[in-house]
């Protein structure tokens, strides 16, 4: 009898407030009929519209999904959807819209009666002059992973976090997901974390179900688009899935081809000079545990090269490695050592150093295409775009506070007399390209 009143209340109100049917909810997660309505696991998700922000959270009890927010422009509120899966948590998703770029937003989430604390975030302008973000992979909840989390929380300049898969390592234990989100909330409630799926998101018995309910890329509940793109200052970011079909002719391949061709037009390159692909399994890895995903390379490398992809960021192997610009295992350009201009093949990164046990056995001798590698460190990577110089700076940070590797990508071609950079065999041609690029950037700024 104690359950009767809340059950009747949900039966009466749920069809009006939620998109997921009550019968489905009671069948999949009956425990959400009762419990606390206190919001937890609050996290932001970006859409392809910079004036929007999605917020997702969890409660023990299923109920309404409401967000209230305010900024210098004014105050607003919105309602969204509540839903669940085979776990003892209800999830809620609401879209905040008509946000003013660069203006701090204060918000809280709840059911209209029980509210969270207030949090703040600032919608970033995709055309801003400077942008900093953090990229990790293979995270989890180990002591090393918690060190990485603390570093992310402490970084007041980062405006985004990207993850190249293998996020929480729940592996079927949904409580681990709850703990992982609770641990990251201090960061995730203020800056969005954007993810690609890894093999550990494909969980025993439930597949990608947990991932589909806890993250959002398409603003559709109980659904997830596993490949999508987002624009940030200076960069077109592509998130792809190495866990779904990617060979030529597949749905994902066709989408990648269309998206890359659009991002590689002259106008698009003027707006965003760099293209970065984020996925889980690496095309190039000299680690003995998994190594290079040759099938992935055979399917997608030519597509990436033809469309001028600058950087491919992966995880899966728990170590750090950076390649030279490479195509078909052949190094095309060693640049200035740590500075690379446009016109080269992609540089590949393996950054599986987010917290899982290190894979220390490496392929020997080190392949020619491997520029730098570490097999026993943990940490994160930082990327900073500067529109004044039209450069993207990359650095690999260890949890002990030291920097292990760094390099710079620049929009212009390198001025060099080397055979690699002067591929056309005409003296000074790179300088001409550099001048053209700089003039184009100047006109764009005007």
Same domain, 113 and 184: no
Same domain, 370 and 317: yes
Structure tokens at 199: 């093999």
pLDDT at 446: 42
CATH number, domain with residue 293: 3.60.21.10
Structure tokens at 442: 């100047």
pLDDT at 19: 54
Binned at pLDDT 50, 70 and 90, residue 80 comes out as: very high
Residue 12 lies inside a defined structural domain of this protein: yes
Rounded to an integer, what distance in angstroms lies between the CA atom of residue 3 and that of residue 14?
16
Same domain, 135 and 107: no
Cis status, amide bond into 419, omega within 30 of 0: no
Question: pLDDT tens, 282-330?
Answer: 999 999 999 999 999 999 999 999 999 999 999 999 999 999 999 999 9
Same domain, 17 and 134: no
Residue 429 or 80, more confident: 80
Question: pLDDT tens, 171-208?
Answer: 999 999 999 999 999 999 999 999 999 999 999 999 99
Same domain, 101 and 139: no
Residue 434 has pLDDT above 50, yes or no: no
Count CB atoms within 10 A of the CB of residue 172: 10
Residue 259 lies inside a defined structural domain of this protein: yes
pLDDT at 12: 37
Binned at pLDDT 50, 70 and 90, residue 414 comes out as: confident
pLDDT at 220: 86
Same domain, 35 and 117: yes
CATH number, domain with residue 22: 2.60.40.380
Q: Give the neighbor-by-neighbor strand order of the sheet with 311-314.
A: 228-232, 235-239, 274-278, 311-314, 347-351, 320-323, 370-374
Query: Cα angle at 53 between 50 and 56, to 5 degrees?
Result: 155
Residue 344 lies inside a defined structural domain of this protein: yes
Question: pLDDT tens, 101-148?
Answer: 999 999 999 999 999 999 999 999 999 999 999 999 999 999 999 999
Domains held by the chain: number:
2
Q: Mean pLDDT across the stretch 149-164?
A: 97
Residue 444 has pLDDT above 70, yes or no: no
> Average pLDDT over the chain, rounded to whole?
89
The residue range of the domain holding 116 is: 4-121
Same domain, 168 and 72: no
pLDDT at 337: 77
Residue 420 lies inside a defined structural domain of this protein: no
Same domain, 64 and 153: no
Same domain, 332 and 400: yes
Rounded to an integer, what distance in angstroms lies between the CA atom of residue 184 and that of residue 58?
14
Question: pLDDT tens, 216-234?
Answer: 999 888 778 999 999 999 9
Residue at which a domain ends, from 100, 121, 142: 121
Rounded to an integer, what distance in angstroms lies between the CA atom of residue 228 and that of residue 243?
14
Give the whole-number percent of the chain exceeding pLDDT 70. 86
Same domain, 142 and 171: yes
Residue 425 lies inside a defined structural domain of this protein: no
Count CB atoms within 10 A of the CB of residue 269: 18
Same domain, 167 and 295: yes
Residue 367 has pLDDT above 80, yes or no: yes
Q: Is the dihedral of CA 207, 210, 212, 213 positive or negative?
A: positive
Residue 422 has pLDDT above 70, yes or no: no
Q: Mean pLDDT across the stretch 276-280?
A: 98
Q: Mean pLDDT across the stretch 385-411?
A: 97
Q: Mean pLDDT across the stretch 76-84?
A: 95
pLDDT at 168: 98
Same domain, 108 and 77: yes
Residue 37 has pLDDT above 80, yes or no: yes
Residue 429 has pLDDT above 90, yes or no: no
CA neighbor of 123 nearest in space, from 36, 174, 52, 213: 52
């Amino acid at each position: 009898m104690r359950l009767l009143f809340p059950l009747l209340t949900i039966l009466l109100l749920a069809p009006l407030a939620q998109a997921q049917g009550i019968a489905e909810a009671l069948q999949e997660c009956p425990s959400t009929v009762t419990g606390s309505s206190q919001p937890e696991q609050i996290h932001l998700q970006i859409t392809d519209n910079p004036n929007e922000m999605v917020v997702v959270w969890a409660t023990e009890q299923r109920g309404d999904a409401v967000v209230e927010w305010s900024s210098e422009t004014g105050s607003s509120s919105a309602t969204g959807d509540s839903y669940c899966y085979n776990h003892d948590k209800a999830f809620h998703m609401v879209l905040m819209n008509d946000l003013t770029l660069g203006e701090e937003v204060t918000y809280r989430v709840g059911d209209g009666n029980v509210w969270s604390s207030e949090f703040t975030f600032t919608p970033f302008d995709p055309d801003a002059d400077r942008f900093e973000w953090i990229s990790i992979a293979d995270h989890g909840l180990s002591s090393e992973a918690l060190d990485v989390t603390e570093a992310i929380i402490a970084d007041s300049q980062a405006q985004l976090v990207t993850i190249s898969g293998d996020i929480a390592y729940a592996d079927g234990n949904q409580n681990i997901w709850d703990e992982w989100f609770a641990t990251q909330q201090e960061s995730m409630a203020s800056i969005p974390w954007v993810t690609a799926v890894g093999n550990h998101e494909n969980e025993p018995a439930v597949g990608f179900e947990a991932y589909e309910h806890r993250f959002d890329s398409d603003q559709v509940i109980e659904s997830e688009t596993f490949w999508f793109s987002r624009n940030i200052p200076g960069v077109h970011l592509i998130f792809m899935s190495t866990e779904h079909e990617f060979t030529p002719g597949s749905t994902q391949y066709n989408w990648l081809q269309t998206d890359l061709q659009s991002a590689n037009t002259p106008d698009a390159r003027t707006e965003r000079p760099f293209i970065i692909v984020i996925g889980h399994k690496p095309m190039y890895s000299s680690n003995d545990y998994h190594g290079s995903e040759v099938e992935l390379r055979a399917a997608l490398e030519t597509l990436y090269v033809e469309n001028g992809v600058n950087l491919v960021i992966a995880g899966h192997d728990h170590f750090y490695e950076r390649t030279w610009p490479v195509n078909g295992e052949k190094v095309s350009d060693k640049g200035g050592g740590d500075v690379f201009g446009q016109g080269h093949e992609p540089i590949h990164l393996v950054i599986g150093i987010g917290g899982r046990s290190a894979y220390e056995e490496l392929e020997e001798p080190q392949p020619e295409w491997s520029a730098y590698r570490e097999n026993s460190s943990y940490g994160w990577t930082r990327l900073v775009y500067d529109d004044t110089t039209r450069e993207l700076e990359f650095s690999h940070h260890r949890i002990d506070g030291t920097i292990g590797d760094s390099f710079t990508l620049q929009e212009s071609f390198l001025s060099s007399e080397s055979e690699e950079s002067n591929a056309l065999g005409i003296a000074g041609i790179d300088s001409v390209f550099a001048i053209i690029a700089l003039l184009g950037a100047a006109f764009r700024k005007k």
